Structure 1
Amino acid sequence: MTPSPHLRPGLLALVATLVVDQAFKVFMLQVVGITSGQTITILPVLDLVMAWNYGVSFGMFQQDSLLGQWALVLFKVAAVALIGWWLWRAESPMTAVALGLIAGGAVGNGLDRVLYGAVADFFAFHITTASWQFQWYVFNLADVGIVAGVALLLYESLFGGRPGASKSARS
């Protein structure tokens, strides 16, 4: 089977997501030297906080054991293989870019597990008023790529249609 004509933008999105994510992590860990639990305030609503995530998205399924961590790595490998197969067959540039963002984020977080035994998360959004407080999960740039890719897939499935589809077929 021949690859999708949209493979190149998807691969570019994958590589860009992976490189930006890993470069930021190396910068924070090696140059800034941020340590676990350390907080650096960037804006009144944004801190950089070093948090090691031993689970999957949003800290679910925490795995402290070596076996558990490698099980998560194998799960990521399988997920990236499935996404790669989908990317190979992508029917639109938007689908290809979305899949590239998701795969790049998954590879970035998987690489963290191999290198560090956990995923390095840094960004903490929060809002605090006199009577109310909101704290979002701590996340990283790989997570941003994954969420952006999923949002693009949802957008395309709801509003974008498929190449060659008529307006009536999308209704």
Structure 2
Amino acid sequence: MTALIRIWAVALLTFLIDQASKVWVIYGLDLPLVRVVEVFPPYLTFIMGWNRGINFGLLSDSPEWSRIILISIAIGVSILLSFWGRKADRWRMWAAFGMIIGGALGNAIDRVLYGAVADFLNMSCCGFQNPYTFNVADIFIFAGAGLLLVYGGRDLEQSKA
């Protein structure tokens, strides 16, 4: 199996997990109507948020056409990461590229379906009340980026040798 197939297999799994979590909270829990579900307060609370911008709600007041730009960026990044990772020969690189691609496309499809990214996870601790929400795709993107930062240079260099 080639690296691209492995990367896209991870991306598909990531995408499906993300979208299943969003379907569950949006339609199963009816979180847009309920607004808040305390799962394990204050450590984990579901709070419905619709992010029209980028991380932490930046650019959320941008015009409608910016949604198309953000969708295009997600697709472009996915193509670039596929190209970059096509020669990767280690599982953690396939996982890293796949998690970022799957997460980016999961958030992009939200923009297509809902006009915004569905965020619902909120975690607070130790007297700190986190004002932000995020979603499963964001977790995968962060984990994939972390893998690339920790192992990317070394693994990709070893792949070339």
Identify the TM-score tier after normalising by the shorter chain: 0.7 to 0.9
Name the CA distance, whole Å, in 2 between partners of 1:164 and 1:90. 6
For normalisation by structure 2, the TM-score amounts to: 0.87
Number of residues of Structure 1 aligned to a counterpart in Structure 2: 160
1:10, CA displacement in angstroms? 1.6
Q: Give the secondary-structure state (helix, strand or coil) at the position aligned to 2:53.
A: coil
For normalisation by structure 1, the TM-score amounts to: 0.82
Q: Give the secondary-structure state (helix, strand or coil) at the position aligned to 2:48.
A: strand
Residue pairs, 1:104-143, within 5 angstroms: 104-129=102-127, 133-135=128-130, 137-143=132-138
Counterpart position of 1:169: none
Aligned pair partner of 1:40 in 37, 40, 51 = 37
Counterpart position of 2:158: 163
User: 1:131-163 CA distances to partner (integer Å, 9 max, x unpaired)?
Assistant: xx2416311000011001001111104775743
User: 1:5-55 CA distances to partner (integer Å, 9 max, x unpaired)?
Assistant: 333332221011100000111111112111168111111211001000011
Name structure 2 gaps, 5 residues minimum.
none
User: 1:29-88 CA distances to partner (integer Å, 9 max, x unpaired)?
Assistant: 112111168111111211001000011122222245321111111121211111121132
Aligned pair partner of 2:87 in 69, 89, 97 = 89
Residue pairs, 1:13-28, within 5 angstroms: 13-28=10-25
- The root-mean-square deviation of aligned C-alpha atoms, in Å, is 2.4
Name the CA distance, whole Å, in 2 between partners of 1:124 and 1:164. 39
Name the CA distance, whole Å, in 2 between partners of 1:159 and 1:87. 13
Structure showing greater Rg = 1
Counterpart position of 2:63: 65
CA contact (8 A) 2:7 2:95 kept: yes
1:94, CA displacement in angstroms? 1.7
CA contact (8 A) 1:63 1:69 kept: no
Counterpart position of 2:143: 148
Instruction: Work out the percentage of aligned pairs sharing the same amino acid.
Output: 31
Which amino acid in 1 is paired with 2:7? Answer: G
Name structure 1 gaps, 5 residues minimum.
167-171
In the TM superposition, structure 1's runs of 4+ consecutive aligned residues that sit over 6 Å from their partners are none
Q: Give the secondary-structure state (helix, strand or coil) at the position aligned to 1:148.
A: helix
Name the CA distance, whole Å, in 1 between partners of 2:49 and 2:74. 20
